Amino acid sequence: MTASTSPSYIGRFAPTPSGYLHFGSLVAALASYLDARAVGGRWLVRMEDLDPPREEPGAQAAILKALECYGFEWDGDMVRQSERHTAYAEVLNRLFNQGLAYACTCSRKQLEPYHGIYPGLCRNLGHAREHAAIRLRVPELEYRFTDQVQGEYRQHLGRDVGDFVIQRRDGLYAYQLAVVLDDAWQGITDIVRGSDLLDSTPRQLYLQELLGLPQPRYLHVPLITQPDGHKLGKSYRSPPLSEDQAPPLLLRALRALGQTAPSELADASVAEIMRWGTAHWDASLIPRTLSVPEAQLS
Ligand code: GLU
Ligand code: ZN
Q: For the chain, which residues make up each domain, given as ranges?
A: 6-80+187-198+222-297, 85-176
Q: 39: number of CA atoms within 13 Å, CB side?
A: 17
CATH hierarchy code of domain 85-176: 3.40.50.620
Closest ligand 1 atom to Cα of 13 = 8
Q: What is the pLDDT of residue 240?
A: 84
Atom 6 in ligand 1: residue holding the nearest Cα: 14
- 124-173 pLDDT tens trace: 999 999 999 999 999 999 999 999 999 999 999 999 999 999 999 999 99
Whether 67 is in the pocket of ligand 1, judged by its Cβ within 6 Å, is: no
Q: Is the pLDDT confidence value at 236 over 60?
A: no
- Which one is the CATH code of 6-80+187-198+222-297: 3.40.50.970, 3.40.50.620, 3.90.550.10, 1.10.3720.10? 3.40.50.620
Q: Which pLDDT band, with edges at 50, 70 and 90, does 233 fall under?
A: low
- 61-120 pLDDT tens trace: 999 999 999 999 999 999 999 999 999 999 999 999 999 999 999 999 999 999 999 999
Q: How far is the CA of 192 from the centre of ligand 1 (A)?
A: 10
Higher-confidence residue of 50 and 295: namely: 50
Closest ligand 1 atom to Cα of 200 = 9
Q: Which pLDDT band, with edges at 50, 70 and 90, does 235 fall under?
A: low
Decide if 6-80+187-198+222-297 and 85-176 have a common fold. yes
Q: How far is CA 246 from CA 90, 177, 280, in A?
A: 42, 34, 19
Whether 48 is in the pocket of ligand 1, judged by its Cβ within 6 Å, is: yes
Q: What is the pLDDT of residue 210?
A: 97
Q: Is 0.85 surpassed by the pTM of this model?
A: yes
Alpha helices (H) along 165-224: 175-185, 201-211
Whether 47 is in the pocket of ligand 1, judged by its Cβ within 6 Å, is: no
Q: Is the pLDDT confidence value at 55 over 50?
A: yes
Q: For a substitution probing ligand 1, which of 54, 63, 78, 175 has the most ligand atoms within 8 Å of its CB? A: 175
Q: What is the pLDDT of residue 230?
A: 73
Return the percentage of the chain with pLDDT > 90, whole number: 89
Identify the bridge partners of residue 223 per DSSP, sorted by sequence position. Answer: 291
Q: In what order do the strands lie in the sheet with 6-13?
A: 6-13, 41-47, 79-80
Q: What is the pLDDT of residue 296?
A: 84
> Torsion-angle region of residue 173: left (phi > 0), alpha (psi -120 to 50) or beta?
beta
- Nearest Cα to Cα of residue 160 among 121, 199, 110: 199
How far apart CA 176 and CA 256 sit, in angstroms, is 27
